[in-house]
A and B are shown apart, each in its own frame.
Chain A
Amino acid sequence: MKLSHVDIQKLFWKTALILLIIGVWFGVLASSKYLNVSILGLNLGMISLRPLHVTAITMWILAGVISCVFSFLFSATKFEFSTLMAFLQWVLFVIAIGGIFTSYFSENFGGREYWEFPPVWAFPLISSWILFVFNFYKSIFKVDKWPVYLWMWFTGGLFFLVTFMENYLWVFPFIREQYLVDTTIQWKSNGSLVGSWNQLIYGTAFYLMDKIKGDSGSSTSKSAYYLYFLGLFNLMFNWGHHIYSLPTHNIVKTIGYLVSMTEWVFLIKILYNWKKSIDIAMNHSHYLPFKFLMAADFWIFINLIQALFMSIPAINLFTHGTHVTVAHAMGTTIGINSMILLAGCCEFISSGIAFTKSSLKRMSYYFWTIQISLVVFVLSLNTAGIYKAIWQYNNANESFAELSLIINPWIMLFACSGTILALGLSGLALMMICQINSLRR
C-alpha cells in the first residue's frame, strides 16, 4: 500500500488528537488525586498519573507541530516531504509512546522531571525527530528567501534535538554527581526545549496569519525578523528564572533575569497592534482557524504579563514551586499552544471539506466551553498558588496536610473546571477526528 502525502498528514493529525484526548483525561484523573486519593486506588496513583498526563500532552504538542509542518510544507516551500521517511518517523514515534506508557503503567521509572520513563525510550523518540527534521529540512533548504515562519520551523527542529539530548546529560556520572550543575543543566535544557516547540508553533501561527490575510507581508517584514531573533535569544538564555533559588552561579541568574525582561518588547508590540488586531478580527470572525488564533492571542497577552512578573526574582521567590507556576504552564499549553495547533487542524480540514453549519455551531460551543473553563481553571490555580506562597512563608515547620486543607476549595474548583475543560477539548478533538476521517482528498 502506497501512502499519499494526505494520508500521512491525516495519520499524524489523528495521532495528535488522540493523544490530546488521552492527555486531558489523565489530567482529570490526576487532579482527582488532590481531592480523594482512593478514587483509583494507590495502584495507579499520582506517581503514574502525573507522568502519563504530562507525556500525553507533550506528545500531543509534538505530534501537533509535526502535523502542522507536514500539512503546510508544500504550500510554504513548493516542495513535498518524503512519505516513506514520514511513515517510518510515525512508527518510531508510536513505538516510543507505547514503551513510555507501558513503563508508566508498570511503575517502571528512571527518568527526570517531564521525561520520567527509562532512558531507553528516548532512543525511538529522538530517532523519530531526526527523521522529521531531515525530511522537512530537505524542503526548506531548497527555498531561496525564508519567510520568518521557515526560520522558526528550522530553529524549533534544531533546538528540540539539541536540548532533548542535553536533557540526558545526567546519564553521565560526571554531570549527575554535581547536584547544582546537574539541576542547572536540567532546567536549562527543559526551559529551552519548551522554547523550541514554541518556535514551531509560533511559526505555524505566522503561516496561518499570512494565509488568512492573503499576503506574505507580516512574515517577511523587518519587525518579524527582529521579533524572531529576540524570541531565539530568549529560547537560548531565558531559562534562569527556573532556578533563582538554586545556589548556582549568580551570573546565570542575572542573565536569565535581564533576558526575560526583554519580553516587555513582545508585550508592547501586542499592545501597539491591538487596534489593528481588532479590525482584522471583525473581518475574519466567521473563519474558524482565525477564531482559535484570536483565542491564542488573548492567552499570550495574559500569560506574558504573568511570565514577566514571575521572572522578577523578588516575586519568583514566593511564586516558585506553587500552583502559580502550574497556572502559567497550563495557561500557555492549553491557551496558546493547543489553540494554535487546533487552528492548524481546522485549516487542514477546511482545505479539504467545508464545515457544515451544524458542525460550526457545535465547534463554536466547544470553543467557548474551553475558553470559559480555562479562565476559571487558571484563576483557581493562581489563587491556590497565592495561598500556598503565603502559607509556606509563614509556616516552614508546619504539617503539609494543613496547607492541603486551606487550598482544598480552590483545588476543588480547579478539578471541576478541569473536567469541563477536558470535556470541551476532547469533544472538539473527537469532532475533528471525524472530519479528518471524512476527508476524501
Chain B
Amino acid sequence: MRITSPKNCVVFIMLFVLYLLFSIWIYITPLAVTTDQKKESIELGNGHLIYQKYNCQACHQLYGLGGYLGPDLTNVASQKGKSTQYIKAYIQAGSAKMPSFDMSSEELESIVRFLELVDKTGKAHPKNFLIKNDGRIYSK
C-alpha cells in the first residue's frame, strides 16, 4: 500500500478518531444505571423485541421515528382515554386500518409494559417544548 496525499490522510485519521471517541462516549452512557432502574430496563429491552417481532414500526412511530399509517405511540400509555386495557383490546381486535395481532398473553403484557416505559422516558408532543431565539428547543 502506498501513502496517498499525506495531508489528506492526516485530516481523515483525525476526523475518524474524533468520530470514534464521540461514538464510544455515546455507547458507554448505559454504565450509569442504578439498580432500581435495572428491572425496568430489562422489561423495556424485552418489550422492544416484541415491538420488533410484530413490526409495529411499519405503521407507528416512537419519538416521530417509524411509519406514517398509524399514530405516534410515544405517549399513548398516558393519553386521555387510552388505558392499558384499551391498548390490549385494540391490539387483539384491530381496526379498519390495523390488523388484529394474535399475541400470547406474555407478549401482550410485555408490549404494553414497553409502551408504558417509553412513555415514562419523556414527552414527544411539540407543546411540551420551549423554543429559543437561536432556533434550539428545550423540553419544558
Contact = CB atoms under 8 A, between A and B. Distances in A.
B99 A47 contact: yes
Interface in A46-71: 46-48, 50-51
B45 A173 contact: yes
Nearest to B72: A321
Contact of A254 (B19, B33, B53, B136): B136
B30 A113 contact: no
Contacts of B49: 110, 176
A252 B26 contact: yes
B70 A257 contact: no
Q: DSSP class of A's interface residues: helix, strand, loop or mixed?
A: helix
Contacts of A116: 52, 55, 57-58
A167 to B, nearest CB: 12
A183 B4 contact: no
A242 B8 contact: no
Interface string B59-71: 1011111111111
Contacts of B122: 246-247
A179 B47 CA distance: 11
B139 interface: yes
B89 interface: no
A175 interface: yes
Contacts of B79: 396-397
Interface residues of B, number: 64
A134 interface: no
Contact of B44 (A34, A146, A177, A237): A177
Contacts of A317: 126, 129, 131, 137
A237 B22 contact: yes
Contacts of A142: 2
A177 B63 contact: no
Contact of A183 (B62, B72, B139): B62
A180 interface: yes
Contact of A233 (B15, B61, B127): B15
A247 B121 contact: yes
A235 B18 CA distance: 13
Contacts of A181: 26-27, 29-30
A183 to B, nearest CB: 7
Which of B27, B49, B62, B129 has most A Cβ within 10 Å? B27
Contacts of B86: none
A357 interface: no
A111 B4 contact: no
A174 B67 contact: no
A233 B16 CA distance: 9
A429 interface: no
B15 A51 contact: no
A397 B72 CA distance: 12
B126 A392 contact: yes
Nearest to A323: B68
Interface in A25-62: 33-34, 37, 42, 45-48, 50-51
A400 B81 CA distance: 14
Interface in B1-58: 1-2, 4-5, 8, 11-12, 15, 18-19, 22-23, 26-27, 29-30, 33, 41-42, 44-45, 48-49, 52-55, 57-58
Contacts of A250: 138
Which of A33, A166, A176, A243 has most B Cβ within 10 Å? A176
A236 interface: yes
B19 A237 contact: yes
Interface stretch (A184-192, A273-281, A285-293): A184-192
A184 B26 contact: yes
Contacts of A155: 12
Given A175-B30, A177-B42, A254-B136, A109 B52 contact: yes
Contacts of A323: 68
Given A236-B19, A237-B22, A396-B125, A244 B137 contact: yes
A396 B75 CA distance: 10
Contacts of A405: none
B65 A179 contact: no
Contacts of A46: 58-59, 67, 69
Given A181-B26, A183-B62, A247 B52 contact: no
B87 interface: no
22 contacts: A46-B59, A51-B55, A113-B66, A116-B57, A146-B8, A151-B12, A169-B27, A175-B27, A176-B49, A178-B33, A181-B27, A181-B29, A181-B30, A232-B12, A245-B129, A247-B121, A255-B22, A317-B137, A323-B68, A397-B79, A400-B70, A404-B97
Interface of A: 33-34, 37, 42, 45-48, 50-51, 107, 109-113, 116, 141-146, 151, 155, 166, 169-170, 173-188, 225, 229, 232-233, 236-237, 242-247, 249-250, 252-255, 257, 312-315, 317-318, 320-321, 323, 325-326, 392-393, 396-397, 400-401, 404
Given A45-B99, A187-B65, 16 more contacts: A34-B69, A109-B54, A113-B65, A116-B58, A142-B2, A173-B42, A173-B45, A175-B30, A177-B41, A178-B29, A181-B30, A225-B8, A236-B18, A317-B129, A321-B61, A401-B97
